[in-house]
Amino acid sequence: MAWTVTYDLDEFRAAAGDFLGARPARHTTLLTVVSSLVAGGSGRYGEQPPVYGWWAGEGSVEGAFLCTPPYPPLLSPLPGEAARALARTLAGDGEQKITGVNAGRETAETFATAWTDLTGAVSDVEQNHRLYRLSTLTPPDPAPPGRPRTATAADRDLLLTWCEGFARETDVLRGDVAAVVDDKLSYDGITLWELDGRPVACAGISRTVAGMARVVLVYTPPELRGRGYAGAATAAVSRAARAAGVREILLFTDLGNPTSNALYQRLGYRPLEDHVVLSFTSAERTVPEQGHPS
Protein backbone atom coordinates (compact mmCIF):
# COMPACT_ATOMS: atom_id res chain seq x y z
CA MET A 1 0.00 0.00 0.00
CA ALA A 2 1.24 3.50 -0.85
CA TRP A 3 0.11 7.07 -1.42
CA THR A 4 -0.08 8.55 -4.91
CA VAL A 5 -0.07 12.36 -4.93
CA THR A 6 -1.09 14.53 -7.89
CA TYR A 7 -2.09 18.06 -8.87
CA ASP A 8 -4.39 16.70 -11.60
CA LEU A 9 -8.05 16.73 -10.56
CA ASP A 10 -9.12 14.48 -13.43
CA GLU A 11 -6.49 11.91 -12.47
CA PHE A 12 -7.70 12.02 -8.85
CA ARG A 13 -11.34 11.59 -9.88
CA ALA A 14 -10.48 8.67 -12.14
CA ALA A 15 -8.51 6.92 -9.40
CA ALA A 16 -10.52 7.75 -6.27
CA GLY A 17 -13.96 8.73 -7.55
CA ASP A 18 -15.55 5.30 -7.13
CA PHE A 19 -14.06 4.95 -3.65
CA LEU A 20 -15.47 8.32 -2.55
CA GLY A 21 -18.85 7.73 -4.18
CA ALA A 22 -19.30 4.32 -2.56
CA ARG A 23 -19.67 5.95 0.89
CA PRO A 24 -20.99 9.44 0.16
CA ALA A 25 -21.96 10.30 3.74
CA ARG A 26 -18.53 9.44 5.12
CA HIS A 27 -16.84 11.31 2.26
CA THR A 28 -19.25 14.24 2.09
CA THR A 29 -16.78 17.11 2.35
CA LEU A 30 -14.30 15.64 -0.13
CA LEU A 31 -17.11 15.01 -2.62
CA THR A 32 -18.57 18.50 -2.33
CA VAL A 33 -15.17 20.21 -2.59
CA VAL A 34 -14.35 18.15 -5.70
CA SER A 35 -17.70 19.11 -7.25
CA SER A 36 -16.99 22.80 -6.54
CA LEU A 37 -13.53 22.51 -8.12
CA VAL A 38 -15.03 20.87 -11.20
CA ALA A 39 -17.56 23.72 -11.49
CA GLY A 40 -15.31 26.63 -10.51
CA GLY A 41 -11.81 25.59 -11.52
CA SER A 42 -8.65 24.99 -9.53
CA GLY A 43 -8.58 28.58 -8.22
CA ARG A 44 -11.96 28.17 -6.52
CA TYR A 45 -10.52 28.32 -2.98
CA GLY A 46 -7.22 30.14 -3.37
CA GLU A 47 -4.30 31.00 -5.59
CA GLN A 48 -2.20 27.92 -4.79
CA PRO A 49 -3.08 24.79 -6.79
CA PRO A 50 -4.96 22.04 -4.96
CA VAL A 51 -3.19 18.76 -4.31
CA TYR A 52 -4.86 15.33 -4.20
CA GLY A 53 -3.91 11.81 -3.23
CA TRP A 54 -5.14 8.25 -2.75
CA TRP A 55 -3.96 5.25 -0.73
CA ALA A 56 -4.05 2.01 -2.69
CA GLY A 57 -2.57 -1.41 -3.19
CA GLU A 58 -3.14 -3.54 -6.26
CA GLY A 59 -6.17 -1.87 -7.78
CA SER A 60 -7.97 -1.14 -4.51
CA VAL A 61 -8.25 2.42 -3.18
CA GLU A 62 -8.75 2.52 0.59
CA GLY A 63 -8.23 6.19 1.39
CA ALA A 64 -8.03 9.68 -0.10
CA PHE A 65 -7.18 13.27 0.72
CA LEU A 66 -7.25 16.67 -0.91
CA CYS A 67 -5.83 20.03 0.08
CA THR A 68 -6.95 23.42 -1.23
CA PRO A 69 -4.50 25.94 0.28
CA PRO A 70 -4.80 27.85 2.55
CA TYR A 71 -7.25 25.33 4.04
CA PRO A 72 -5.84 22.25 5.79
CA PRO A 73 -6.01 18.84 4.12
CA LEU A 74 -9.34 17.01 4.08
CA LEU A 75 -8.91 13.31 4.84
CA SER A 76 -11.26 10.41 4.30
CA PRO A 77 -11.46 7.85 7.11
CA LEU A 78 -8.06 6.15 7.00
CA PRO A 79 -6.43 3.08 8.53
CA GLY A 80 -3.82 4.14 11.06
CA GLU A 81 -1.02 2.98 8.78
CA ALA A 82 -2.34 5.16 5.96
CA ALA A 83 -2.73 8.25 8.16
CA ARG A 84 0.83 7.92 9.43
CA ALA A 85 2.18 7.28 5.92
CA LEU A 86 0.38 10.39 4.64
CA ALA A 87 2.01 12.49 7.36
CA ARG A 88 5.41 11.18 6.27
CA THR A 89 4.60 11.84 2.60
CA LEU A 90 3.46 15.42 3.16
CA ALA A 91 6.24 16.19 5.64
CA GLY A 92 8.76 15.18 2.99
CA ASP A 93 7.21 17.43 0.33
CA GLY A 94 8.84 20.83 0.60
CA GLU A 95 6.19 22.40 -1.65
CA GLN A 96 3.32 21.72 0.75
CA LYS A 97 2.76 23.97 3.77
CA ILE A 98 0.53 21.84 5.95
CA THR A 99 -1.30 24.00 8.46
CA GLY A 100 -3.58 21.45 10.09
CA VAL A 101 -5.95 18.60 9.30
CA ASN A 102 -9.72 18.25 8.82
CA ALA A 103 -11.16 14.74 9.21
CA GLY A 104 -13.12 12.34 11.37
CA ARG A 105 -11.80 12.49 14.90
CA GLU A 106 -9.84 9.22 14.94
CA THR A 107 -8.16 9.82 11.58
CA ALA A 108 -7.38 13.47 12.39
CA GLU A 109 -5.81 12.59 15.72
CA THR A 110 -3.71 9.76 14.24
CA PHE A 111 -2.44 12.03 11.46
CA ALA A 112 -1.75 14.85 13.94
CA THR A 113 0.25 12.61 16.27
CA ALA A 114 2.41 11.45 13.38
CA TRP A 115 2.80 15.00 12.08
CA THR A 116 3.87 16.46 15.40
CA ASP A 117 6.31 13.59 15.95
CA LEU A 118 7.85 14.23 12.53
CA THR A 119 7.96 18.03 12.60
CA GLY A 120 7.95 19.13 16.24
CA ALA A 121 4.83 21.21 15.57
CA VAL A 122 2.12 21.67 18.19
CA SER A 123 -1.43 20.48 17.48
CA ASP A 124 -4.42 22.50 18.73
CA VAL A 125 -8.16 21.96 18.32
CA GLU A 126 -9.72 24.66 16.14
CA GLN A 127 -13.22 23.25 15.59
CA ASN A 128 -15.32 20.33 16.78
CA HIS A 129 -18.13 19.31 14.43
CA ARG A 130 -20.81 16.64 14.37
CA LEU A 131 -22.09 15.21 11.11
CA TYR A 132 -25.83 14.49 11.01
CA ARG A 133 -27.89 12.52 8.48
CA LEU A 134 -31.60 13.14 7.87
CA SER A 135 -33.87 10.29 8.91
CA THR A 136 -37.58 11.18 8.93
CA LEU A 137 -38.09 14.88 8.26
CA THR A 138 -40.20 16.47 11.00
CA PRO A 139 -41.00 20.10 10.06
CA PRO A 140 -41.53 22.62 12.87
CA ASP A 141 -44.96 22.38 14.46
CA PRO A 142 -46.36 24.93 14.70
CA ALA A 143 -44.61 26.34 11.66
CA PRO A 144 -43.62 30.00 11.79
CA PRO A 145 -45.43 32.38 9.45
CA GLY A 146 -43.98 32.78 6.00
CA ARG A 147 -43.01 30.63 3.04
CA PRO A 148 -39.86 29.38 1.29
CA ARG A 149 -38.58 30.53 -2.07
CA THR A 150 -35.42 29.97 -4.06
CA ALA A 151 -32.92 32.82 -3.87
CA THR A 152 -32.04 34.57 -7.13
CA ALA A 153 -29.40 37.01 -8.33
CA ALA A 154 -31.64 39.83 -7.08
CA ASP A 155 -30.94 38.62 -3.52
CA ARG A 156 -27.16 38.65 -3.94
CA ASP A 157 -26.40 41.77 -1.90
CA LEU A 158 -28.53 40.57 1.01
CA LEU A 159 -26.89 37.14 0.88
CA LEU A 160 -23.44 38.69 0.89
CA THR A 161 -24.30 40.55 4.09
CA TRP A 162 -25.78 37.45 5.70
CA CYS A 163 -22.90 35.20 4.68
CA GLU A 164 -20.40 37.70 6.04
CA GLY A 165 -22.31 37.56 9.33
CA PHE A 166 -22.30 33.77 9.18
CA ALA A 167 -18.53 33.82 8.60
CA ARG A 168 -17.90 36.09 11.59
CA GLU A 169 -19.99 33.93 13.91
CA THR A 170 -18.93 30.44 12.84
CA ASP A 171 -15.29 30.65 11.67
CA VAL A 172 -16.27 28.09 9.00
CA LEU A 173 -16.84 30.25 5.94
CA ARG A 174 -13.61 32.07 5.13
CA GLY A 175 -11.99 33.58 2.06
CA ASP A 176 -14.03 34.97 -0.83
CA VAL A 177 -17.62 35.13 0.45
CA ALA A 178 -18.81 36.52 -2.89
CA ALA A 179 -17.49 33.44 -4.68
CA VAL A 180 -19.38 31.20 -2.27
CA VAL A 181 -22.64 33.11 -2.79
CA ASP A 182 -22.26 33.22 -6.57
CA ASP A 183 -21.51 29.52 -6.69
CA LYS A 184 -24.63 28.67 -4.68
CA LEU A 185 -26.81 30.97 -6.79
CA SER A 186 -25.51 29.33 -9.97
CA TYR A 187 -27.37 26.10 -9.19
CA ASP A 188 -30.29 27.47 -7.11
CA GLY A 189 -28.52 26.32 -3.96
CA ILE A 190 -29.99 28.79 -1.43
CA THR A 191 -33.53 28.81 -0.04
CA LEU A 192 -34.92 31.90 1.68
CA TRP A 193 -37.66 31.92 4.28
CA GLU A 194 -39.78 34.95 3.46
CA LEU A 195 -42.32 36.78 5.63
CA ASP A 196 -44.63 39.29 3.94
CA GLY A 197 -42.24 39.52 1.00
CA ARG A 198 -39.18 40.07 3.23
CA PRO A 199 -36.43 37.43 3.57
CA VAL A 200 -35.88 36.58 7.24
CA ALA A 201 -33.59 33.51 7.08
CA CYS A 202 -31.76 31.28 4.63
CA ALA A 203 -30.50 27.73 4.25
CA GLY A 204 -28.22 26.52 1.50
CA ILE A 205 -27.44 23.12 0.08
CA SER A 206 -24.45 21.68 -1.71
CA ARG A 207 -24.52 20.21 -5.17
CA THR A 208 -25.83 16.66 -5.23
CA VAL A 209 -22.96 14.19 -5.63
CA ALA A 210 -23.34 10.39 -5.57
CA GLY A 211 -26.90 10.80 -4.30
CA MET A 212 -25.75 13.00 -1.38
CA ALA A 213 -26.19 16.68 -0.57
CA ARG A 214 -25.36 18.69 2.54
CA VAL A 215 -27.29 21.56 4.13
CA VAL A 216 -25.03 24.59 4.61
CA LEU A 217 -25.17 28.31 5.38
CA VAL A 218 -28.16 28.24 7.72
CA TYR A 219 -28.49 31.81 8.95
CA THR A 220 -30.95 34.21 10.57
CA PRO A 221 -29.99 37.84 11.31
CA PRO A 222 -29.56 38.34 15.08
CA GLU A 223 -32.58 40.65 15.41
CA LEU A 224 -34.88 37.98 13.91
CA ARG A 225 -33.74 34.94 15.87
CA GLY A 226 -35.83 32.86 18.22
CA ARG A 227 -38.88 32.82 15.92
CA GLY A 228 -38.32 29.49 14.15
CA TYR A 229 -37.26 30.89 10.78
CA ALA A 230 -33.97 28.97 10.54
CA GLY A 231 -35.71 25.70 11.34
CA ALA A 232 -38.36 26.41 8.72
CA ALA A 233 -35.75 27.25 6.08
CA THR A 234 -33.77 24.10 6.92
CA ALA A 235 -36.90 21.96 6.72
CA ALA A 236 -37.82 23.54 3.39
CA VAL A 237 -34.44 22.95 1.79
CA SER A 238 -34.34 19.41 3.20
CA ARG A 239 -37.82 18.65 1.86
CA ALA A 240 -36.90 19.98 -1.58
CA ALA A 241 -33.74 17.85 -1.66
CA ARG A 242 -35.68 14.73 -0.73
CA ALA A 243 -38.33 15.50 -3.35
CA ALA A 244 -35.55 15.83 -5.93
CA GLY A 245 -34.41 12.29 -5.12
CA VAL A 246 -31.38 13.02 -2.92
CA ARG A 247 -30.81 9.80 -0.97
CA GLU A 248 -28.58 11.13 1.81
CA ILE A 249 -29.13 14.63 3.20
CA LEU A 250 -26.47 15.69 5.68
CA LEU A 251 -25.34 18.67 7.72
CA PHE A 252 -22.55 19.61 10.12
CA THR A 253 -23.02 21.39 13.43
CA ASP A 254 -20.62 23.04 15.84
CA LEU A 255 -20.56 20.81 18.92
CA GLY A 256 -20.21 23.94 21.02
CA ASN A 257 -23.64 25.19 19.92
CA PRO A 258 -26.33 23.24 21.80
CA THR A 259 -29.13 25.29 20.20
CA SER A 260 -28.35 24.23 16.64
CA ASN A 261 -27.69 20.61 17.64
CA ALA A 262 -31.08 20.41 19.35
CA LEU A 263 -32.84 22.12 16.44
CA TYR A 264 -31.57 19.74 13.79
CA GLN A 265 -32.41 16.70 15.89
CA ARG A 266 -35.98 17.99 16.25
CA LEU A 267 -36.15 18.21 12.46
CA GLY A 268 -35.17 14.55 12.12
CA TYR A 269 -31.38 14.67 11.72
CA ARG A 270 -29.48 11.93 13.54
CA PRO A 271 -25.78 11.93 14.57
CA LEU A 272 -23.46 10.05 12.23
CA GLU A 273 -19.90 10.87 13.33
CA ASP A 274 -17.74 13.55 14.89
CA HIS A 275 -15.14 15.54 12.96
CA VAL A 276 -12.37 17.81 14.18
CA VAL A 277 -10.22 20.53 12.62
CA LEU A 278 -6.75 20.64 14.17
CA SER A 279 -4.18 23.38 13.54
CA PHE A 280 -0.42 22.88 13.57
CA THR A 281 1.73 25.69 14.91
CA SER A 282 5.43 26.20 15.48
CA ALA A 283 7.74 29.11 16.14
CA GLU A 284 8.01 29.64 12.39
CA ARG A 285 4.38 29.13 11.44
CA THR A 286 1.27 31.25 11.92
CA VAL A 287 -2.27 29.87 12.12
CA PRO A 288 -4.18 30.22 8.79
CA GLU A 289 -7.84 30.08 7.98
CA GLN A 290 -9.44 26.84 9.12
CA GLY A 291 -12.52 24.87 8.20
CA HIS A 292 -13.85 24.55 4.66
CA PRO A 293 -16.71 26.49 3.07
CA SER A 294 -18.21 23.74 0.95
Number of Cβ within a 10 Å radius of residue 168: 9
Alpha carbon distance 277, 288 (integer Å): 12
Contact 43, 50 (CB under 8 A): no
Q: What was the pLDDT predicted at 289?
A: 42
Tens digit of each residue's pLDDT (9 = 90 or more) over 180-204: 999 999 999 999 999 999 999 999 9
pLDDT on residue 291: 53
Write the pLDDT tens digit of every residue in 137-162.
999 999 999 999 999 999 999 999 99
pLDDT at 286 over 70: no
pLDDT of residue 283: 43
Q: What percentage of the chain has pLDDT greater than the value 70?
A: 94
Q: Nearest-CA neighbor of 284 among 121, 75, 103?
A: 121
Which class is domain 136-267? alpha beta
Q: What is the mean pLDDT of residues 259-285?
A: 90
Q: Taking the domains of the chain in order of start, what are their residue ranges?
A: 2-130+274-281, 136-267
Q: Which of 269, 94, 38, 185 is nearest to 66 (CA)?
A: 38
User: pLDDT tens digits for 61-112?
Assistant: 999 999 998 889 999 999 999 999 999 999 987 667 899 999 999 999 999 9
> Per DSSP, what are the bridge partners of residue 134?
269
The band of 267, judged by pLDDT with boundaries at 50, 70 and 90, is very high
User: Which pLDDT does position 70 carry in this prediction?
Assistant: 85
Confidence (pLDDT) at 43: 80
pLDDT at 293: 58
Confidence of residue 174 (pLDDT cuts 50, 70, 90): low
Residue percentage of the chain with pLDDT more than 90: 83
What confidence score (pLDDT) does residue 175 get?
Answer: 65
pLDDT of residue 125: 95
Instruction: Report CA dihedral (262, 266, 268, 269) to the nearest 10 degrees.
Output: -10
Q: Does domain 2-130+274-281 have CATH number 3.40.630?
A: yes
pLDDT for residue 76: 98
Say whether 136-267 and 2-130+274-281 share the same fold. Answer: yes
Cβ(204)–Cβ(231) under 8 Å?
A: no
The 8-class DSSP code of residue 292 comes to -
pLDDT exceeds 90 at position 13 = yes
Pairing relationship of beta strands 122-134 and 248-254 according to DSSP bridges: antiparallel
- Supply the DSSP symbol for 285: B
The DSSP symbol for 50 reads: P
Q: Is there a contact between 188 and 150 (Cβ–Cβ < 8 Å)?
A: yes
